[in-house]
Amino acid sequence: MHVPDGFIDAPVSIAAGAVAVAGIGIALRGARRELDDRTAPLAGLTAAFVFAAQMLNFPVAAGTSGHLLGGTLAAILVGPYTGVLCVSVVLLMQALLFADGGLTALGVNITTMALVTVLAGYGLFRLLLRMLPKTRASVAAASFVAALVSVPAAAAAFTVIYAAGGTADVSIGKVATAMIGVHVLIGIGEALITAATVSSVLAVRPDLVYGARGLMKPLELRVAARKADGPAEPSRA
């Protein structure tokens, strides 16, 4: 969903740039709380993984492909603020080194693919986890649904930006229908990759998954409680 130069006019591109800068500023402050000696290397590798996964376009419909956006995945693995920074670094390197995503569209791309995916995806993930039992299966299911929704959310955000500053004269209804329709399909791929990756990390190192922290604490408490209760159990009658 990398927007090239020339799709969006200058005033709206600048406005999106301001939104992106403000978002990254907030993310930089918030990330300080998420990152320490142990999680900082993981965050760097998460950004690298998102870059790699974004190269893997998968077919979604006749003559159309899609690829991971990665905002939801990064937010679940390393935290929402750090997740925004992960995707932003990927987008910056793609624009500067690989001519992917226009330089004047960088603000638009960071807004839709880093800020909106994390806000929509991670927000929905937390909401779902609150309603589900605290198990690993719940984390995987919530990550699937959240990732799926985050992609059409980003497509909707692009449509709004296009409505404000699109350079070509195309009806907004047409753009919205086409963009959201295709990106629901791409969202299924996003959901599969996100749930598979989160599940894999949960299987080997659940303590490293930021979004599963609420899950780990009750488990630890239960172990401690059983130890304490153990000797007392027989004399309960």
Partner 1 sequence: MTTKRFLAGFLLVSLVLAGVVSYYASSHPDGLEKIAADKGISAKEKDHSLKDSPLGDYGVKGVGNARLSGGLSGVIGVGAVLLVGGGLFWGVRRRGTEPEQAAGRDERAPSEPARKG
User: Which DSSP symbol is given to 167?
Assistant: S
Nearer to partner 1, 129 or 186 (CB): 186
φ/ψ of residue 59, rounded to 5: -70, 140
Name residues contacting partner 1, limited to 78-117 (CB under 8 A).
Answer: 82, 85-86, 89-90, 92-100, 102-103
Alpha helices (H) along the chain: 10-34, 39-54, 71-78, 80-97, 106-110, 117-131, 136-165, 172-204, 213-229
Q: Are 70 and 86 in contact (CB under 8 A)?
A: yes
* Of residues 180-209, those binding partner 1 (CB under 8 A): 182-183, 185-186, 204-205, 208
- Is residue 134 within 8 A of residue 215, CB to CB? The reply is yes
Site for partner 1 in 112-171 (CB under 8 A): 155, 158, 162, 166-170
Under the criterion CB under 8 A, does residue 173 sit at the interface with partner 1? no
**Of 16, 35, 106, 202, which lies in the binding site for partner 1, with binding defined by CB under 8 A?**
35
Tell me the C-alpha distance between 151 and 155, whole Å: 6
Which pair of tokens denotes residue 35?
A: 């990152």
Q: How far is the CB of 214 from partner 1 (least distance, A)?
A: 20
Stretch near partner 1 under the rule CB under 8 A, chosen from 14-22, 117-125, 140-148, 173-181: 173-181
**Shortest Cβ distance from residue 208 to partner 1 (Å)?**
7
Q: How far is the CB of 128 from partner 1 (least distance, A)?
A: 25
Number of CB atoms found within 10 A of residue 40's CB: 14
Q: How many residues bind partner 1 (CB under 8 A)?
A: 76
- Cβ closest to partner 1, residue 129 vs residue 211: 211
- The alpha carbons of the chain give a radius of gyration, in whole angstroms, of 20
CB-nearer residue toward partner 1: 128 or 176: 176
